[in-house]
Structure 1
Amino acid sequence: MEPTNNAAERALRQSVNQRKNSLDVQSANGAVCRSRLLTATTTLRQQGRDIWQVLEQAWIAHHRGGVMPSLLPDH
């Protein structure tokens, strides 16, 4: 992909390259999961937040029936 100054394209570049370089998903549920993970990680990266910490919080909330962490900035 040709470098550009477009912020939206720069934000997606890593995700697009990762998808191209890996094996494709095997199911519709896998495609939805990958799409949601890429959206979340791109959003968190732009906000400068710790991706693994938020994913861990989401995992714990899911298994304990708690409140999911928000992707909205903490302004």
Structure 2
Amino acid sequence: MLTEPAVLTRPLGELPTTYVKCLLDGPEPNDTLSALLTSERWRLTTTATGHWPMFSQPDELARLLAAEAS
């Protein structure tokens, strides 16, 4: 159960991250995410689905996550 807040050991922008933008939720990340995406540790990737790609495009999401993990 997710009841405890996450405790980060360094600023969020310094963590290696791939942000998956679901394009049917709107074309651009919000301002907070746009700022984080300027970090050299963050990468943006997109998919042509709504907010729940694990239901609407599970194979595409799995492929994308596997590619990012390698």
The two structures share one fold, judged by TM-score above 0.5: no
When normalised by structure 1's length, the TM-score is: 0.27
Q: Which one has the bigger strand percentage?
A: 2
Higher relative contact order (CA closer than 8 Å, sequence separation 6+): 2
Work out which of the two has the higher radius of gyration on C-alpha atoms and give 1 or 2.
Answer: 1
When normalised by structure 2's length, the TM-score is: 0.28
